[in-house]
A and B are shown apart, each in its own frame.
Chain A
Amino acid sequence: MSVNYELRCRECSKTWGNVPRSFCEDCFSPLEVAYDYDALKTIASRENLAGRDFNMWRYSELLPLPEDFTGPNAVGGTPLVASRKLASRWGLKNLYFKNDAVCFPSLSFKDRVVATALSAARRFNFTTVGCSSTGNLANAVAAQAAQQGFDACVFIPGDLEPAKVLNTAVYGARIVRINGNYDHVNRLCAQIADRFQWGLVNVNLRPYYSEGSKTHGYEIAEQLGWRLPDNVVVPMAGGSLITKIAKAFRELVTLGWVEPKPVKFFGAQATGCSPISDAVKRNLARFEPQKPNTIARSLAIGNPADGPFAVKQILESGGWAEDVSDPEIVAAIKLLAETEGIFTETAGGVTTGVTQKLIAQNRLKPDETTVVCITGNGLKTTDAIAAEFPASEAIAPRLDAFEAYLDAHLGTAAASAKA
């Protein structure tokens, strides 16, 4: 084998080589990429990173990329923001926001997974790529397909936010809207992947796709000075990201890049679509699927394929899962923007709101290092908070009009501050 990885079933451990397939044909369980870590230790080292740009390709040896692959675009490399105001308000000494709201090129962490998926699409000679998407993934597929010369065809729920649809259409991708929710779209895409020779990034390319999420975790560790945090708070839709951040941390320990350390994983969902947090809180052996009803549409997956793995990861790490209502999501979006200057989409509102809840439950301790994962940009879901900010009345372009405005809105204190 010239590469150090292949697909392996997560349940029965059967190996399948490297093929465009997401599930084990023996037991129907998901496949994931398994690495030969002994071989990786001989070629990958922290020292190798020194001359490389700060984006996800600096960790290329730890990703399932074809031989001689060169990253075609600077995906990832997003800021780890040390919180001041929220940390102080919440009484935490070491609080960070990993800000993939500014991930290149399409402003969500989905750029990372699409980057590894398209490397696999090229390797398997697909000329058309696509996805089932709640919006962010479609944006990322459309943008990177345009850049790399793939035809793109994406499938989305019919009621998606207009901004997310526009952010896909602009790249020239074909958009197929489906009458139904994401789970309906997903089921259709499973059947399409079965019928057509297309590279659907989160269907038949899913094992390669989801490995891209690990780079979110590698960056957190590197930005903390090659240390693992005590706690990570992660949004959950299909449940993949939280397990891949855990995989990233385990790999860094295996490779000796960080000291071993127990990390607690906390999952965040919207109450209107919370099959994973529900399973954690009720200690269910199997999660119960739900019909999504929430403004956090990027997390609105009622039948999460990686749900069982997410539940296991959370409980085995000593973490927890929580969920927040739509009004709490809106309040948390505003809170994060007003305190940290980060404008996140509804999913980030979920993660921030859940973090606040976990602190109130005393699950995140003041002296611990906590990283909150922000995965998407607020400009994509402005509809969700527009009602909070009614347009103000315009005033005449005269100084006296402005003084009257100040008196009316800020009262005498502001008026007395006049020079």
Chain B
Amino acid sequence: MAVTIEIPTAFRRFTDGAPKVDCSAATIAEALNVLTSRFPDLGRHVRDDQGQIRQFLNVYLNEEDIRFLGGESCTLKEGDRVLLVPSIAGGC
């Protein structure tokens, strides 16, 4: 599936400044793997030493946090948007 990964400013120094990266992938995991193999320096910023998505990096498929969609194995369809967003919070 052709999908678009939106890159936050902080990560663009690893993507040659590109704000969006188009790729073909069937799952979120695959999309992230395509991204980090295309931009290897980004790899350690996306995944920790155990290979898990970093705790403070939130990944969204369109409007939804992927943790509500079964995690990174969730499947993609044509035209989906994948967002990488740092974790922040208000409230108490």
Contacts and interface: CB of A to CB of B under 8 A. Distances in A.
Interface stretch (A24-32, A37-45, A87-95, A258-266): A24-32
Given A28-B10, A194-B9, A237 B91 contact: yes
B9 A186 contact: no
Interface in B35-57: 45, 54-57
A206 interface: yes
A28 B63 contact: no
A192 to B, nearest CB: 11
Instruction: Give the interface size bracket for A toward B.
Output: 35 or more
A133 B13 CA distance: 30
Contact of A190 (B68, B86, B92): B86
A267 to B, nearest CB: 10
A134 B89 CA distance: 10
A107 to B, nearest CB: 14
Contacts of B9: 194
A184 B89 CA distance: 11
B10 A238 contact: no
A237 B91 CA distance: 5
B68 to A, nearest CB: 7
Contacts of A314: none
Interface residues of B, number: 24
A22 B9 CA distance: 13
Interface in A179-210: 180, 182-184, 186-187, 189-191, 194, 202-203, 206
A301 B56 contact: no
Interface in A292-312: 298-301, 303-306, 308
B65 A301 contact: no
A235 interface: yes
A296 to B, nearest CB: 10
Nearest to A297: B91
Interface string B9-42: 1100100000000000000000000000000000
A202 to B, nearest CB: 4
A29 B63 CA distance: 22
A23 interface: yes
A109 interface: yes
B85 A191 contact: yes
Interface of B: 8-10, 13, 45, 54-58, 60, 63, 65, 67-68, 83, 85-92
16 contacts: A11-B56, A27-B45, A27-B54, A28-B10, A28-B56, A29-B55, A30-B88, A187-B58, A187-B60, A194-B9, A194-B10, A238-B91, A238-B92, A239-B89, A303-B58, A305-B89
Interface of A: 11, 22-23, 25-30, 109, 131-134, 137, 180, 182-184, 186-187, 189-191, 194, 202-203, 206, 234-241, 286, 288-289, 291, 298-301, 303-306, 308, 347, 375
